[in-house]
Amino acid sequence: EHWAPSRIPASKMRSSTCMLLGPTITILLASPSSAFAGLQDDLGLRAVLLFRKPAVSTGRLEVVEEGMNVLRAQKEPFCIVSAVGPTRTGKSSMLGRAFFRESEQETLFQVGSGVTSFTGGVWISSRPLEVATASGTLRVLFIDTEGFSGVGSITSKTYEANLFGIVYLLSSVLIFNTMFPVDASTVSSLNAHANHALQMLQALKESGQEVRRTRPRLIWSVQSFNIYNLHNSGMGADDLLSSLRNASQPSSSESALAVLGEAGSSASVWLVERLFEEQQLIPVRRPHHSDEVVANLAKYNSSMLSPDYLQDLEHLRLASMRHTRPVHRCKEKDTLSAADHCTAELLHGSEFVELLGGWLKHGFILDQSDLESSDKANETESLFQLGERNRNWLEKQCKALNEELRTKFYWYREYTTTNEDLRQEAIQAVSRMMKGFRDAALSRLVESGIFWRYPGKGAMLVETQSQQAMHRCKEMLDHTREHMENWRLQWQSRGQRRIEQQPLPHVEGGGKLIYKLQANDSTCFTETNNRIALGSGFTLESCAEEVSTNCKCGRGFEFDESNDGFCGCGAAGTLNTDCTEDLDDFSFRNKRYLLYNPACIHEQPKLSSDRASPSGAGDTAGAAQGGAGGAAQGGAG
């Protein structure tokens, strides 16, 4: 059967079992409050830093004693559930909504709302979540990690490789969190991380620190999943995982052979399959239809989010607790034993910390992509490649800061003393990050093979590029600040008034569609859903033609060339027929137009009397005229 969360009978969701090396664990789900009852009086629960990202990107995780003390304090068997994955995919929010919902700890791990990386380093819950069972209690600690390939922070492939490897060794269950859609490139990324774990296992084995434990379980969580894509393909989640597994390239790397033996040389090896006891893909649908809500999830209680999203997270929670084993050591000498070949010796926290210390000391690995091979053609070519990589990285950082500034100005657009302070804080924050370009770029340079071959010239090149990038970025940020300040003032002067349908002007089009730009950075979106999304792949002309012939559309429409040619319109017969129902409509690069002679104009429904403005026809005409003039002025600005 295709997995359809909405069809799961309530009777089948009352309980789930979780194996604790023999005893059966029952997670009661009679009501949301009972599922999270262990948190109700736990006011001390918080997120604690376990590993700090180094100030200079050496690639090594820096131990934080407060986090280690959380592990040392565990005197009873405990499990660890960790979340890893690319940056800005919702790991922190997923952990909170899945495991701490309807408690004060729903945002235990802080959630970012911008485009830059938010979580830094590795964080752990200060106390375990206790799940009542028939034969005892399963105690679970949760780990949240910095996203891979983040912007606005100092990272390297070596740092990410060691982060994944150590978290893999720590975890009873590893949740790999990505965004929809998933394809072969996503599988390749997961395989690359699995290879990093293998390299760490090999390094530990060669140093006499062989890891003797059963393999953890993998939950692959895919956020913002369009479940209809799955149904239209006649597939279930397991079918999709099987297809992605088949898309993976087999690997016979040195690490795989050293750690896995003959199993690692199999032509059909998917490294993930060999490193995890079980693999399960869980689609998670979009939290809310509004982009604003999705971008600011930390501000919204779970009761305001999509029931489908919450149900999917409940499925993820149950899957994470199934067959989960506490941290242990196998008495057998095999690396990564299968569950049925391991005589488990459960570990207390202090014993586990001692093992972890050895992993950190002897398991450090270097990602080869951070080093250039020594046989480059010549010095000029090597420095050119270094310069290109550094320039692209600096541009990426500046674009992220620019988007962050634009977003903050939109959030704090209303004229209040608090918002004025927050806008100034946003300006100062991006300015500080921009001034850190030089140090960040030089830190990245330390891990480059070119630096060690041409240290003086490499450092001079990077420093010069950084200064130039800071100058260009300051100009971009100043332009954005001025642009957003002007937009905010225009928005403030327009107020929050609603605009009624404008009267039809007399046009002589000779059969040609006539439409005019009303406003830049504007959209047809409203909270009342009086907007119709017509899709992507349009040109401005084809978008206007589609609106003209679609009798569900009014005369107002929007077009965003930068967003894959997105086209939308206001719904005919509503206050949004001209896309002027809500003037709080900022959408960067989106353009709003008014169509004067649509083909469907005589078939479009009239505004119903109960939707008409109570101010009368005279006021309506005046509002329409004023609204159009304001929009045109906003567009010109």
Give 359's pLDDT tier (boundaries 50, 70, 90): very high
Tell me: pLDDT of 512 over 90.
no
Indicate the DSSP class of residue 281.
E
When mean pLDDT is compared across 56-60, 170-174, 269-273, 360-364, the lowest value belongs to: 56-60
Tell me: pLDDT of 132 over 70.
no
Q: Which residue has the higher pLDDT, 290 or 503?
A: 290
Q: What is the mean pLDDT of the chain?
A: 77
DSSP state letters, 527-551: TT--EEEEESS--HHHHHHHHHH-T
Give 183's pLDDT tier (boundaries 50, 70, 90): confident
DSSP H or E stretch at residue 162: helix 157-170
Tell me: pLDDT of 160 over 70.
yes
- CB-based contacts of 26: which residues, under 8 Å, 6+ apart? 15, 16, 17, 18, 132, 133, 134
* C-alpha dihedral sign at 257, 260, 261, 264: negative
Give 626's pLDDT tier (boundaries 50, 70, 90): very low
Q: In degrees to the nearest 10, what's the CA dihedral of 131, 133, 135, 138?
A: -20
| pLDDT value of residue 9 | 35
When mean pLDDT is compared across 131-135, 352-356, 534-538, the lowest value belongs to: 131-135
Tell me: pLDDT of 22 over 80.
no
Q: What is the phi/psi pair of residue 537, to 5°?
A: 85, 15
Tell me: pLDDT of 334 over 80.
no
When mean pLDDT is compared across 164-168, 204-208, 332-336, 453-457, the lowest value belongs to: 453-457
Residue 370 near residue 444, CB atoms below 8 Å: no
Could you tell me whether strands 553-560 and 328-330 are parallel, antiparallel, or unpaired per DSSP bridges? unpaired
Which CATH class, in words, describes the domain spanning 5-369? alpha beta
Radius of gyration of the chain (CA): 28
Residue spans of beta strands (DSSP E) within 251-391: 279-283, 328-330, 344-346
pLDDT tens, 417-472? 888 888 899 899 999 888 888 888 877 776 666 666 676 777 788 888 888 899 89
| 26 burial via Cβ count (<10 Å: 0-12, 13-18, 19+) | middle
| pLDDT value of residue 435 | 87
pTM of the model: 0.56
Tell me: pLDDT of 286 over 70.
yes
Greatest Cα pair distance, the chain, in angstroms, is: 88
Tell me: pLDDT of 311 over 90.
yes
| pLDDT value of residue 350 | 95
234-240-245 Cα angle (round to 5): 145
| pLDDT value of residue 438 | 82
Domain ranges of the chain: 5-369, 377-494, 515-636
| pLDDT value of residue 12 | 34
What does the H/E/C string look like for 415-480? CCHHHHHHHHHHHHHHHHHHHCHHHHHHHHHHCCHHHHHCHHHHHHHHHHHHHHHHHHHHHHHHHH
pLDDT tens, 520-537? 888 898 888 889 999 999
When mean pLDDT is compared across 148-152, 255-259, 557-561, the lowest value belongs to: 255-259
Q: Which amino acid is at 520?
A: N
Both tokens of 291, joined, read: 């982009």
- Choose from 40-44, 168-172, 176-180, 416-420 the range with maximum mean pLDDT: 168-172
| pLDDT value of residue 415 | 78
| pLDDT value of residue 58 | 63
Could you tell me whether strands 586-595 and 553-560 are parallel, antiparallel, or unpaired per DSSP bridges? antiparallel
Location of structure tokens 């302070």? 421
Location of structure tokens 């033609």? 545
| pLDDT value of residue 500 | 44
| pLDDT value of residue 2 | 32
H helices present in 171-306, as ranges: 184-206, 227-232, 237-247, 254-260, 271-275, 291-295
H helices present in 62-155, as ranges: 65-72, 91-99
What does the H/E/C string look like for 566-598? EEEEEECCCCCCCCCCCCCCEEEEEEEEEECCC
Q: Which residue has the higher pLDDT, 255 or 435?
A: 435
Residue 58 near residue 151, CB atoms below 8 Å: no
